A and B are shown apart, each in its own frame.
Chain A
């Protein structure tokens, strides 16, 4: 069984802060990290692999691959994934992929998947902390024409041509079953990614990361990157955070009294 985890390089969230003078996002050259939601997806994949490796496990062996689209430096993050237990890594890297919106990204990832051994399961993070669109998983599923289960909180069972997962639903969770191949998008709380061992780090550093440009991925340049993105950013701006807050003054007791009145006046 082959499990592919799609990962995205995102700015480490703690580094996202505003320059108070220029009102732009400061990215002081700190290194990117794997999107935290994707790390949960990777951990789920590795658990599937672990379970198959256990004594008495009837399941076929499981291999885990990681796939990303990004700048050449993203290879570093794929090696990190390899150090934690992934078996293979593919990086889609080409100027032609630059400026991709979610549609062009999911197309490129689908092309990448086509260059790998057929995937039984494709795992993605539920969303990325920078874009926050949560669209990639369902769009990959749509592109591949396979079912998609979003917001996976817990893996119940994989095998016999199907996967069972607990996913978020209104007021709780539900056990959903889908036939393989399928795409799952994973919630951050589903799992904490394991740490690598020294042996793992060594493997990650020595392993080969397949880097594919657009032609090698068999991608149509017209559907990649900026050219293949239906949406485009017209403008971006920093929202004016001028405080409109009404200050509630007085002693604590007076403040509490005012707030109590406020709340009473609301229809909740």
Chain B
């Protein structure tokens, strides 16, 4: 039996995540196997106890912050189980790695880069596949969120992205198969291509069957997703794959106990260029012009003048960024471009195209840093991480005088043709509100993190208002309110703005079909109240149809406090 520990002080850290949201829970467990997860799930279901699943709690949307009940931490399920070669999307063979959800991304990367996979206990096919991988071209798992201490389970739960999502997309297409434990303790074995949705629009359904033999015909929501990078709500599309429903479901549909990821071949030559511009408009023009012409681009990242200024200030103040090169004070914007090429001559040609593009938008090719060596690549990586770090340091300084102040960071994306529009919106509204800000992010996907830097509580309040206004405007542009962090608990309001309450209720109904008691990830995506209303409606409807649904399930789950979480501390 798995130990269920009372949530005493020693476990206090497990009620928080990187969003600095404080939650609460009655108990916590650290299962190490699917069987243990199933046993726990049955136990919690029987008691009607809500369960919040978490990994290393690096999320920024409080998805892993418990709203009462039980915390199921999967960080100890960190074994790599095996490998195989399978046909990929284009028919070519791809390497697939099967792993438990607690495997940390940095470790997976290390295993692959150093060819140091822990293969103890693997079967013959896995070992042979690993041998083949070691002999061939370097393989990588391409999803590269900033926080490499994230677990694969967390990456699946929020459909994580990173800089290279410009080239490789988010995590979703690289997830080949999942094993999922449902709230009932039953299991689903999902493999891409095996189960797809039928019907169109409002008529979409998805048929699933548990390994225990129970069939479910899920009615899917009717909304259309924005055609942008998106991590807002369930993935719903005509003909969608069952795997894709669970990727990005924020821990609300089931507990992922096994993940099979597809690897991709690393580009032979990776060069990076940081291009500095004297005006933001040049940087935007550059990105718009470069996207169609620079086929080998892996990533386009942006840093605005304010972000560069804060970094420059922190470096001068001796904040440990001494090894960073000095940024020219004239630089008002920086675009980091990563190029993935087959060989050096191709990379040189790409670099020349970058130079031509810079010239076209009125910039200077002298104001560039080219990273072609490991040392320089590491320096640019450090630079990219130093920007958010230096802003956090600034906020920490301000918190000393006013502890209520936190950084407000946006995570919205718009379609390609709206990049200039959304930037103009941010600039105008920030100026009107008189707010200080620093902006950086994945400009290749028109996905920028605009960070409001409040000087006082009034700024903080104005910033929150502004974000709601942006959520509406971004939705009108056909964009997404959460492009990579997931919705979790702190972006629910934006999701409501994006899809409207009707579609939110569809999502809640979808959840009820898999988790009739509404136990998993309570408070993620939609509020517990909305969920319970839909559960009651479902139960009533089921009762009319004569379906056997546990009457107790219609009541409010034990120990769940509707106000336990969701407020930014």
Q: Which of A's residues lie within 8 Å of B, judged by CB?
A: 12, 14, 17, 33, 36, 39, 80, 83, 192-202, 205
B352, A202: Cβ atoms under 8 Å?
yes
Q: Which of B's residues lie within 8 Å of A, judged by CB?
A: 114, 273, 323, 325, 348, 351-352, 354-355, 358, 365-376, 379
The answer to whether A198 and B373 touch (CB under 8 A), given A192-B323, A192-B325, A205-B348, is: no
Which one, A80, A192, A197, contacts B373 given CB within 8 A?
A80
A200 partner residues in chain B, CB cutoff 8 A: 370
B348 partner residues in chain A, CB cutoff 8 A: 201, 205
A33, B355: Cβ atoms under 8 Å?
no
B374, A12: Cβ atoms under 8 Å?
yes
Which applies to chain A's interface (DSSP): helix, strand, loop or mixed? helix
Which one, B352, B370, B376, B379, contacts A197 given CB within 8 A?
B370
A198, B368: Cβ atoms under 8 Å?
yes
A12 partner residues in chain B, CB cutoff 8 A: 374
Which one, B354, B365, B375, contacts A33 given CB within 8 A?
B375
A195 partner residues in chain B, CB cutoff 8 A: 325, 369-371, 376, 379
Which one, A14, A192, A193, A198, contacts B351 given CB within 8 A?
A198
Docked Cα-Cα span, A12 to B371, in Å, equals 15
A14, B369: Cβ atoms under 8 Å?
no
A194 partner residues in chain B, CB cutoff 8 A: 325
B373, A33: Cβ atoms under 8 Å?
yes
A201, B325: Cβ atoms under 8 Å?
no
B371 partner residues in chain A, CB cutoff 8 A: 195
B273 partner residues in chain A, CB cutoff 8 A: 198
Docked Cα-Cα span, A197 to B351, in Å, equals 10
Docked Cα-Cα span, A195 to B336, in Å, equals 14
Q: Which residue of A lies closest to B114 (CB)?
A: A17
The answer to whether A197 and B368 touch (CB under 8 A), given A192-B323, A192-B325, A205-B348, is: yes
A-B interface, 4 closest residue pairs, ranked by CB to CB distance from nearest: A195-B369, A198-B365, A198-B355, A197-B368
Docked Cα-Cα span, A36 to B323, in Å, equals 14
B369 partner residues in chain A, CB cutoff 8 A: 195-197
Docked Cα-Cα span, A22 to B325, in Å, equals 41
Give the distance to chain B from A12, nearest Cβ to Cβ, in Å: 6
Docked Cα-Cα span, A193 to B367, in Å, equals 16
B372 partner residues in chain A, CB cutoff 8 A: 80, 196, 201
Which one, A36, A192, A199, A205, contacts B365 given CB within 8 A?
A199
B366, A197: Cβ atoms under 8 Å?
yes
Contact sample, A vs B, 11 pairs, CB 8 Å cutoff:
A17-B114, A33-B375, A83-B370, A197-B365, A198-B366, A198-B368, A198-B370, A199-B368, A201-B348, A202-B351, A202-B355
Give the distance to chain A from B529, nearest Cβ to Cβ, in Å: 47
A196 partner residues in chain B, CB cutoff 8 A: 369-370, 372
A205 partner residues in chain B, CB cutoff 8 A: 348
Give the distance to chain B from A74, nearest Cβ to Cβ, in Å: 14
Docked Cα-Cα span, A193 to B373, in Å, equals 12
Docked Cα-Cα span, A233 to B333, in Å, equals 55
Docked Cα-Cα span, A195 to B375, in Å, equals 10
A14 partner residues in chain B, CB cutoff 8 A: 374
Docked Cα-Cα span, A189 to B83, in Å, equals 44
B373 partner residues in chain A, CB cutoff 8 A: 33, 80
Docked Cα-Cα span, A198 to B323, in Å, equals 21
Q: For the A-B complex with A33-B375, A195-B376 known, give 12 more contacts whose Cβ atoms are closer than 8 Å.
A: A195-B369, A195-B370, A197-B365, A198-B273, A198-B358, A198-B365, A198-B366, A199-B366, A200-B370, A201-B348, A201-B370, A205-B348
A198 partner residues in chain B, CB cutoff 8 A: 273, 351-352, 354-355, 358, 365-366, 368, 370
Give the distance to chain A from B205, nearest Cβ to Cβ, in Å: 51
Residue of A14, A33, A80, A192 ringed by the most chain B CB atoms within 10 A: A192
Give the distance to chain A from B106, nearest Cβ to Cβ, in Å: 15
A33, B379: Cβ atoms under 8 Å?
no
A39 partner residues in chain B, CB cutoff 8 A: 375
Docked Cα-Cα span, A202 to B370, in Å, equals 11
Docked Cα-Cα span, A202 to B412, in Å, equals 38
Docked Cα-Cα span, A199 to B376, in Å, equals 17
Docked Cα-Cα span, A198 to B379, in Å, equals 17
B367 partner residues in chain A, CB cutoff 8 A: 197
Docked Cα-Cα span, A201 to B373, in Å, equals 12
Docked Cα-Cα span, A166 to B451, in Å, equals 43
B374 partner residues in chain A, CB cutoff 8 A: 12, 14, 33
A80 partner residues in chain B, CB cutoff 8 A: 372-373
